[in-house]
Amino acid sequence: MSKSKNKRINEIKEILGDHVASGKPYLKMISCGEIMINRLPYSFSLQNIGAASNAGICVTLSGGAVDNGRVRFTDFVFLKNVDGKVIPERYDLPLVTKNDGKKLYQAKFDKLVLKEYDPTVAKTEEEFLGVLSTQLTFRVTPLFEGEDMPEIMLSVYPYGDPLTGSATEWKRVTSDEDYFLHHLKVGRRTSFFKGRR
C-alpha cells in the first residue's frame, strides 16, 4: 500500500478513535439514496464509529409533510446480517405524536447492540473498507402523490448518546416514479445545448 494511502487511513483511524475513546456510540450515515420516490423502497445504511452500546437505537422520519399527512411511510424492514447472510426483518413503523403535538414515524430497537468500532484490525486498504462495511441497513417505502418535492428528515440516534451520536439526513420525496430517467434526460439535454454554444 502506498505511503499516501497509508497516511490517509491513519488519519481516518485517528478521527474515529476519538469517538471510541469518548465511551459513547456515534452513528454515521454510510449510504442512502439521493431521493425518496413514491412506492419505491428506499434504503439507508449506518455504521457505529464510536464505543459499544447495548442501549439500542431509534429510527425516525419527520418533517412538515409527515406532520400534515401528505407523506406516509410503510413496509419498514431491517436488513439483518447473520453470518454473512442478509435476512430481512419487518418492523412496525407507527406514526406517533410528540409532546409538542407534531407527528413523526418512529421505530425503536431497544435490544439492538452496537459493537465498538475497531479499525486497528485492518492492515490493508481492502480490509479497512471491509471494516467500514459492517453496517446497519434499513429499507422503507414512502407514499406521496403531490406535485412538489417536500423534505423529510431521516434521523437515527443511539439511546446511549442521542444528542451527539445521531446520524441525520434531509431528503426530498417525489411522486415521479421515473425521476431518475427524467433527471438524466434533462441533464443530457442541458449538456448538449451547452456544447453547441
Helices (H) and strands (E) in the chain, counts: 4, 11
Judge contact between 65 and 144, C-beta under 8 A. yes
pLDDT of residue 50: 87
What is the sign, positive or negative, of the torsion defined by CA atoms of 33, 36, 37, 38?
positive
Q: How many CB atoms lie within 10 A of CB 62?
A: 18
**What's the structural domain count of the chain?**
1
187 φψ region: left (φ > 0), alpha (ψ -120 to 50), beta (else): alpha
pLDDT in tens, 111-167: 999 988 766 666 666 665 555 556 799 999 999 999 999 999 999 999 999 999 999
pLDDT of residue 195: 46
Q: Compute the distance between CA of residue 126 and CA of residue 120 in angstroms, rounded to an integer.
A: 13
Cα gap 15→146, rounded to integer Å: 42
Question: Is the separation of the CB atoms in 114 and 52 below 8 Å?
Answer: yes
Compute the distance between CA of residue 118 and CA of residue 91 in angstroms, rounded to an integer.
29
What is the pTM assigned to this prediction? 0.78
Q: Do 159 and 56 contact (CB within 8 A), yes or no?
A: yes
Q: What is the pLDDT of residue 60?
A: 98
Which pLDDT score is estimated for 25? Answer: 92
Per-residue confidence (pLDDT) for residue 190, from 0 to 100: 45
What are 85's three cell numbers? 447472510
If pLDDT is split at 50, 70 and 90, which confidence band does 192 have? Answer: very low
CATH number of the CATH domain containing 126: 2.60.40.1510
Chain segment 20-73, per-residue pLDDT in tens: 667 889 999 988 888 999 999 999 999 898 888 999 999 999 999 999 999 999
Q: Would you say 115 and 160 are in contact if contact means Cβ atoms under 8 Å apart?
A: no
**More reliable by pLDDT, 180 or 189:** 180
Residue 196: the pLDDT is: 43
Question: What is the domain extent for residue 65?
Answer: 3-196
